[in-house]
């Protein structure tokens, strides 16, 4: 898939169905539309500037979250304290 980094003169500046398109793009990013997703995505990004911008913003946010959010081990003492609070509500 080509990665255009800007506005194409052929792209429309307003999306006719923003909500539906954004849901589609998010499903593609979530990996729910693997087989047909790349083809659908390329068509949308080539034709619609709002979809192009939303896709790249969402993709960048997900990359930041993936690299910045790491699993931290929970101290045993804290876990035990939480278990006790759950079992013994006041």
Task: Give per-residue pLDDT as tens, 32-83.
Answer: 877 777 787 788 788 888 888 888 898 899 888 888 777 778 888 998 998 8
Torsion sign (Cα): 7, 9, 14, 17? negative
pLDDT at 90 over 50: yes
Please return the burial class of 7, using the count of CB atoms within 10 Å of its CB with bins 0-12, 13-18 and 19+. exposed
Give the residue-averaged pLDDT of 13-27.
82
Extents of the domains making up the chain: 18-87
Residue 89: the pLDDT is 67
The confidence band for 1, taking pLDDT boundaries of 50, 70 and 90, is very low
Give the CA dihedral 50, 24, 5, 39, nearest 10 degrees: -130
Residue 2: the pLDDT is 41
Residue 77: the pLDDT is 92
């Amino acid at each position: 898939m080509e990665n255009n980094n800007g506005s194409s003169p052929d792209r429309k500046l307003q999306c006719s169905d923003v909500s539906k398109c954004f849901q589609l793009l998010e499903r593609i990013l979530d990996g729910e539309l693997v087989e047909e997703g790349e083809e659908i995505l390329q068509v949308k990004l080539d034709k619609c500037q709002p979809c192009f911008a939303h896709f790249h913003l969402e993709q960048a946010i997900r990359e930041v979250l993936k690299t910045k959010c790491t699993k931290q081990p929970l101290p045993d003492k804290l876990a035990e304290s939480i278990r006790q609070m759950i079992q013994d509500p006041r």
